[in-house]
A = this chain, B = another copy of it.
Amino acid sequence: MQTCYFPNLIVRAIDAAQPFDLEAKSYEHFEKSTRLKIGIVGFGNFGQFLAKTLLKQGHTVLAYSRSDYSDVARELGVSFFPDPNDLCEEHPEVILLCSSIVSTKAVLQSIPFQRLKRSTLFVDVLSVKEFPRDLFLKVLPPEFDILCTHPMFGPESGRDGWQGLNFVYEKVRIGIEESRINRCDRFLNIFAQEGCNMKEMSCGEHDRHAAESQFITHVMGRTLEKFGVESTPINTKGYESLLDLVSNTSGDSFELFYGLFIYNKNSLEQLERLDMAFESVKKLLFGKTHNVVREQLFPKE
């Protein structure tokens, strides 16, 4: 660009810059109003996985875990507190429980609730939902808000982003004040913004569906893993989907698998149904074989 000089013109005010500055300020205000201070309790695999996206979106993330994750927290940009009292004294607006299913009760009971603001929002991300809902309602002081959620993906399936992946939630107990309603929505918006399919659903309905689908998927995946499926030189398309299944479930811990079984009251019935289905397929094969042999032994005239 060419610069022109008008020696008679003197700049007397910088008002031209003002609207730009106002815009920046208003944007900053907006940003602040959507940002949350989130305390993650339980900072294992899944907690760290969620933290990355929370940080990317500009939220402040604190973490406490019974194991020492201070190194990984430092690398991510998360403040790590070895003492839950210190985390709670930071007054996070949200406590995000990221423990495994089987350790949830012990972890929850280790939180000094009295050091938190009475309006804190408690959120869980477990793969079962009735169990944490009942536990929260029983253990948490009545002033605390409760949101039960299940992001139906993990570090493996959500590696390339969360677009199109299911996020189930129930607003179990959210105070009627606008600020509380707004805070819960801001938290949910973290997942909506990443493109998740947001599914509002009761914890009971979730558990019924999940026992039929997610638990049975894990049973199949683990059975095939024990069987030892391996790529052959002559895979069919159907067999490729078995191999996919194993790679999809084999990364998860036995603890998660057991949690899906014992903390979801619907799982046992579904396992029994699968057992019966497998038995009936075997019976079809052996029954037909039996008939063939009998027809050879006792031919009809």
Contact = CB atoms under 8 A, between A and B. Distances in A.
A115 interface: no
A223 interface: yes
A17 interface: no
A275 B157 CA distance: 29
A288 B222 CA distance: 16
A212 interface: yes
Q: How many copies does the complex hold?
A: 2
Contacts of A239: 213-214, 216-217
Interface stretch (A4-12, A30-38, A244-252): A244-252
A22 interface: no
Contacts of A206: 234
Contact of A227 (B168, B277, B285): B277
Contacts of A245: 238, 241-242, 245
Given A210-B234, A236-B153, A271-B285, A229 B216 contact: yes
A281 B222 contact: yes
A27 interface: no
Interface of A: 150, 152-153, 157, 165-166, 168, 199, 201, 206, 209-210, 212-214, 216-224, 226-230, 232-239, 241-242, 244-245, 248-249, 254, 257-258, 261-262, 271, 273-278, 280-282, 284-285, 288-289, 292
Determine the main DSSP class of A at the interface with B: helix
A262 B289 contact: yes
A86 to B, nearest CB: 32
20 contacts: A150-B234, A152-B234, A157-B237, A166-B233, A168-B234, A201-B234, A213-B242, A214-B239, A216-B227, A217-B239, A220-B224, A223-B281, A227-B277, A238-B248, A242-B245, A245-B245, A257-B285, A261-B289, A271-B282, A278-B278
